[in-house]
Homo-oligomer: A and B are copies of this chain.
Amino acid sequence: MDPQAKKTALRSINYGLYVLTAADGDEYAAAGVNWLSQASFEPPLVMVGIKADSDSHPIIERTGAFAVNVLGEEQLDVGKAFFRTTTVEGDTLNGFRFERGPQTGAPLLVDLAYWFECRVTDTVRRGDHTVFVAEVVDAGVRDENVVPLLLRSTGMNYGG
């Protein structure tokens, strides 16, 4: 396999950008992720690839839960704030206010338009990222007019 062709072909997949959050008691983790897709209508499942050595990975494994917060097209700056280690100050995560999700307690960023909470049903530990398949157990929309951010349009990518 030609490594450059592999990289270019895999980067042709389209992604959004999301802040994935998890909490175990008062321990929090949040990370910018893009390897996310729905995986079933009934039950409503999603699948997400989470870096095996990331802060959020052990919390998801322990609690079996996480939330996904969807960045809007004008919110790349918010996303970038979650490419670093999570810091909690009062009711803010990396400087952005959150509330606890009603079903799982995972943090929901109040500035982001769409969110859903998930409970892990299946885990595939195979590569440098773990695949969590998870059922969507709650969801909310704060502003249905927000257009989700397209990773390709930022000039950034994570894949290949």
A interface residue numbers (CB < 8 A to B) = 1-2, 5-6, 8-10, 12-16, 34-47, 49, 70, 113-116, 121-122, 124, 126-129, 131, 133, 136-141, 144, 146, 148-152, 159-160
Contacts and interface: CB of A to CB of B under 8 A. Distances in A.
A116 to B, nearest CB: 5
Contact of A116 (B9, B43, B136, B149): B9
Contact of A45 (B2, B13, B126, B160): B126
**This chain: copies in complex:** 2
A40 B114 CA distance: 26
B159 A38 contact: yes
Contacts of A121: 126
A134 to B, nearest CB: 10
Contact of A12 (B39, B43, B70, B124): B70
Contacts of A10: 38, 44, 46, 116, 136, 139
Contacts of A127: 39-45
A146 to B, nearest CB: 8
B140 A9 contact: yes
A148 to B, nearest CB: 5
Contacts of A150: 14, 150, 152
